[in-house]
Amino acid sequence: MRNFGLSIREKSIVCIGFMGVGKTTVGKLLAQKLYRNFVDIDVEIEKAFAMPIPQIFEVYGEQAFRAKEKELIVKYSQQPLNIISVGGGAFLQKEIQDICMADCIVLFLDISWESWKDRIHILVDNRPLLKGRSLEDMKTLFLERQTIYSLNHSKFQVDNFKAEEAADYLADALKLSWEIHAPQPK
């Protein structure tokens, strides 16, 4: 069932961006600040398979992971008032791009390669697509992925912000935009 009736204030917000940019961390804080429900699609996929992501890739393969990712994003994107953190590769699937762009507010969390590479050591163990890759390979993936993130409604550059500061800024910006778009009394 598509959510055709939702106003801009009610639409779910979908956080996109490269692995480790902060979609989960910032998304969770943003949800608290806006009194919304937070959904992490990676966590929902892990619940569905009852195993961590690296094991899902090993046991069932990336294709099964992507199919479940699509099913869950379609489900949560149609509900009102969610903040949805999707995996870094979700926008590789055109149907996910289309449904999120049509029915939600898509927020791209952007980061420069220079800032991102300082986070590699905290990311590599839980991200199968980073494991065993050289720095050069990671940079290639990082740059290739920028094309899919260029489809968004709004972009925020996280480089110089702590997660809490980013969430504060985004909450204020969204509230302001909702004020501007609110129907004016006659």
Ligand X SMILES: Nc1ncnc2c1ncn2[C@@H]1O[C@H](COP(=O)(O)OP(=O)(O)OP(=O)(O)O)[C@@H](O)[C@H]1O
Ligand Y SMILES: O=C(O)C1=C[C@@H](O)[C@@H](O)[C@H](O)C1
Q: How far is the CB of 156 from ligand Y (least distance, A)?
A: 18
123 or 171: CB nearest ligand Y: 123
Segment 8 to 27, residues that bind ligand X, using CB under 6 A: 17, 19-26
The residue type found at 174 is L
CA dist., res. 84 & res. 37, Å (int): 8
Q: Which strands make up the sheet holding 37-40, listed edge to edge?
A: 37-40, 82-85, 13-16, 105-110, 154-157
Pick what 117 binds: Mg ion, ligand X, ligand Y, none; C-beta below 5 to 8 Å, kind-dependent.
none
77 or 149: CB nearest ligand X: 149
Binding mask 11-50 for Mg ion (x = CB under 5 A): ------------xx--------------------------
Q: How far is the CB of 87 from ligand Y (least distance, A)?
A: 2
- 119 belongs to an annotated ligand binding site: no
Collapsing DSSP states into helix, strand and coil, what is residue 109?
strand
Structure tokens at 119: 């986070």
Per DSSP, the residues of 81-123 read TEEEEPPTTGGGSHHHHHHHHHHSEEEEEE--HHHHHTTHHHH
CA dist., res. 156 & res. 162, Å (int): 13
Kindly state the helix (H) or strand (E) to which residue 42 belongs, with its residue range: helix 41-49
- What are the binding residues? 20-25, 42, 66, 88, 127, 145
Annotated binding residues for substrate, written as ranges, equal 42, 66, 88, 145
Q: Which chain residues interact with ligand X by CB under 6 A?
A: 17, 19-26, 42, 85, 87-88, 119, 122, 127, 158, 161-163, 166
Residues that bind Mg ion (CB under 5 A): 23-24
